[in-house]
């Protein structure tokens, strides 16, 4: 007899069905409608129904049989201790560009784990190579309609893909994307571009082949390979130059024009890093087709600019409202000085935004300090891979003002810990300045710079409308 897998509840969402049922952390889900729950895919499929019978074992050992009537696809509001509700699957590839292979020794063990799990594609948006996905996994995704599936293609040349992933099954694995296409499963793709390997003619051939999967393959991003200083014994890869970046953009833009004309979508997108590397202006917002590839750094700069400009306009309206109510000039942040530390790549973007804010808010001084990545190497320029020790060393002894602002992507998800295990609190103590972690959007950036909260804007607008409802900006 097959053992029924049990799943321990970690948290219950307030106001959810699970809370109404008085489920609590420590309770164990044994089965749904009499069926064992193998993993998170089974769970989401099984709980979609309008009528459910749950078998739950309480922390004290008592078993409850619960009957539930709900809306179709309505969630129960349960978070499990194991997000996958099963063992995590490790990657079977030995990609020539793998970033994890380029990590220095001595970091925390979890950073060296390579996942290639289709369930994480559904749960967290992770990209998978398809090499670790069996026929049963493919069928479950199709049956359960678990979409979009995010796929790391890298190349559509089967032989080249085998060489790049160093897996003899990597070429045949591409056939699974064909099955998703035939079943109408939505997909997103990515290509990690390696100089002299899958660029140039190979990239063009891959784009041509991938465009056959439209409209179910919604978008494909092209990002440059990340190269650290810790590549001893690894495949010899070269960094892209400014000229290389321009050639990549020309190729991608040519395909965007063609596909937009023929299909109404730009489809293939270049990571922001290509534009910054080439010294070119980023595309307008409409070119990003709804920002489907933000997690791959596609459109983040354009979206940040738009969000910041919109937030600044909102702030200026609130300030005008405050002035109208008070009968004088509104002001906020006067005399405030803050420092923003970021990666070399984002520094010019944040400096530009800081200058706009300072111009609109006299008396606010914003210092943007680019931090060189000495831990991984100067080729790594993104803020998300900065370590606490690099920030500490390069900011020590400098006048940082009232606060040091850092974006949340520098920290472990849900925690205030850098990649090198230094905490935000430890950095704050070392630099003798409060450290504020800021969400990676324009409005949060503006509010943090000015030392304001959302309610400050709402209060100003409400006061203005109450006094001068027809004149408030």
All domains in the chain, ordered by first residue: 7-80 (2.30.42.10), 100-297 (3.80.30.10), 302-465 (3.40.50)
Q: Hey, which residues does 67 pair with through a beta bridge?
A: 53
pTM: 0.83
Residue 148: asked if its preceding bond is cis (omega within 30°), the reply is yes
Which tens digits make up the pLDDT trace of 202-223? 999 999 999 999 999 999 999 9
The Cα 179–Cα 158 span in angstroms is: 16
pLDDT of residue 12: 94
Average pLDDT rounded to a whole number, residues 348-371: 94
Write out the chain in H/E/C secondary structure: CCCCCCEEEEEECCCCHHHHCCCCCCCEEEEECCECCCCHHHHHHHCCCCEEEEEEECCCCCEEEEEEECCCCCCCCEEECCCCCCCCCECCCCCCCCCHHHCCCCCCHHHHCCECCHHHHHHHCCCECCCCCCHHHHHHHHHHCCCCEEEECCCCCHHHHHHHHCCCCCCHHHHHHHHHHHCCCCEEEEEEECCCCCCHHHHHHHHHHHHHHCCCEEEEEEEECCCCCCCCCCCCCCCCCHHHHHHHHHHHHHHHHHHHHHHCCCCEEECHHHHHHHCCCCCCHHHHCCCCCHHHCCCHHHHHHHHHHHHHHHHHHHHHHHHHHHCCCCCCCCCCEEEEEEECCCHHHHHHHHHHHHHHCCCCEEEEEEECCCCCCCCCCCHHHCCHHHHHHHHCCCCCCCEEEEEHHHCCCCCCECCCCCEHHHHHHHHCCCEEEECCCHHHHHHHHHCCCHHHHHHHHHHHHHHCCCCCC
* % of the chain surpassing 90 pLDDT: 70
Token reading at 329: 């000039």
Q: If you average pLDDT over residues 418-436, what whole number do you get? A: 96
**Is 149's pLDDT higher than 60?**
yes
Find the mean pLDDT for residues 151-180: 97
Does position 106 have pLDDT exceeding 90, yes or no? no
| pLDDT tens digits, one per residue of 438-462 | 998 999 999 999 998 766 655 544 4
Q: Which residue has the higher pLDDT, 90 or 7?
A: 7
pLDDT in tens, 367-389: 999 999 999 999 999 999 999 99
Report pLDDT for 416. Answer: 94
- For 400-411, the pLDDT digits (tens) are 999 999 999 999
Per-residue pLDDT at 1 exceeds 70: no
User: Any residues with CB less than 8 A from the CB of 51 and at least 6 apart, and which?
Assistant: 67, 68, 69
Residue 226, judged by CB atoms within 10 A of its CB (0-12, 13-18, 19+), counts as buried
Instruction: Judge if the upstream peptide bond of residue 217 is cis by omega within 30 degrees of 0.
Output: no
Residue 354, both tokens:
């800081």
* CA nearest to 104, candidates 234, 194, 224: 234
């Amino acid at each position: 007899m097959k053992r029924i897998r049990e799943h321990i509840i970690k948290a219950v969402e307030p106001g959810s069905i699970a809370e109404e049922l008085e489920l609590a952390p420590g309770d164990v889900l044994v089965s749904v409608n009499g069926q064992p729950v193998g993993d998170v895919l089974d769970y989401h499929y099984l709980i979609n129904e309008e009528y459910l019978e749950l078998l739950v074992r309480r922390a004290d050992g008592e078993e409850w049989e619960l009957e539930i009537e709900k809306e179709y696809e309505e969630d129960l509001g349960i978070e499990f201790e194991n997000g996958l509700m099963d063992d995590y699957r490790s990657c079977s590839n030995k990609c020539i560009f793998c970033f994890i292979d380029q990590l220095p020794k001595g970091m925390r063990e979890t950073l060296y784990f390579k996942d290639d799990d289709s369930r994480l594609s559904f749960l967290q948006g992770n990209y998978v190579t398809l090499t670790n996905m069996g026929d049963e996994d493919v069928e479950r995704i199709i049956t359960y309609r678990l979409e979009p599936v995010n796929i790391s293609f890298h190349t559509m040349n089967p032989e080249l893909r085998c060489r790049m992933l160093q897996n003899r099954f990597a070429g045949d694995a591409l056939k699974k994307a064909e099955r998703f296409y035939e079943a109408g499963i939505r997909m997103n793709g990515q290509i990690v571009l390696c100089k002299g390997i899958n660029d140039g003619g190979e990239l063009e051939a891959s784009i041509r082949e991938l465009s056959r999967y439209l409209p179910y393959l919604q978008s494909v991003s092209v990002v440059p390979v990340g190269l650290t200083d810790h590549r001893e014994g690894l495949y010899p890869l070269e960094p892209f130059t400014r000229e290389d970046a321009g050639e990549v953009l020309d190729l991608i833009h040519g395909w965007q024009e063609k596909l937009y004309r023929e299909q109404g979508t730009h489809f293939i997108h270049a990571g922001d890093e290509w534009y910054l590397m080439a010294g070119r202006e980023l595309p307008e917002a409409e070119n990003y087709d709804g920002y489907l590839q933000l997690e791959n750094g596609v459109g983040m700069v354009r979206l940040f600019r738009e969000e910041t400009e919109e937030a600044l306009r909102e702030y200026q309206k609130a300030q005008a409202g405050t002035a109208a109510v008070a009968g004088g000039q509104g002001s906020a942040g006067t005399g405030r000085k803050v420092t923003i530390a970021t990666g070399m790549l984002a520094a010019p973007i944040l400096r530009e935004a800081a200058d706009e804010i300072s111009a609109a808010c006299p008396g606010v001084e914003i210092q943007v300090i680019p931090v060189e990545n000495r831990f991984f190497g100067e080729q790594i320029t993104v803020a998300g891979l900065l370590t606490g020790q690099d920030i500490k060393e390069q900011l020590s002894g400098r006048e940082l003002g009232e606060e040091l602002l850092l974006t949340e992507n520098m920290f472990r998800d849900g925690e205030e810990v850098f990649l090198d295990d230094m905490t935000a609190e430890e950095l704050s103590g070392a630099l003798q300045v409060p450290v504020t972690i800021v969400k990676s959007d324009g409005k949060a950036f503006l509010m943090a710079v000015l030392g304001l909260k959302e309610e400050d804007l709402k209060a100003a607008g409400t006061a203005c409308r109450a006094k001068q409802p027809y004149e408030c900006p």
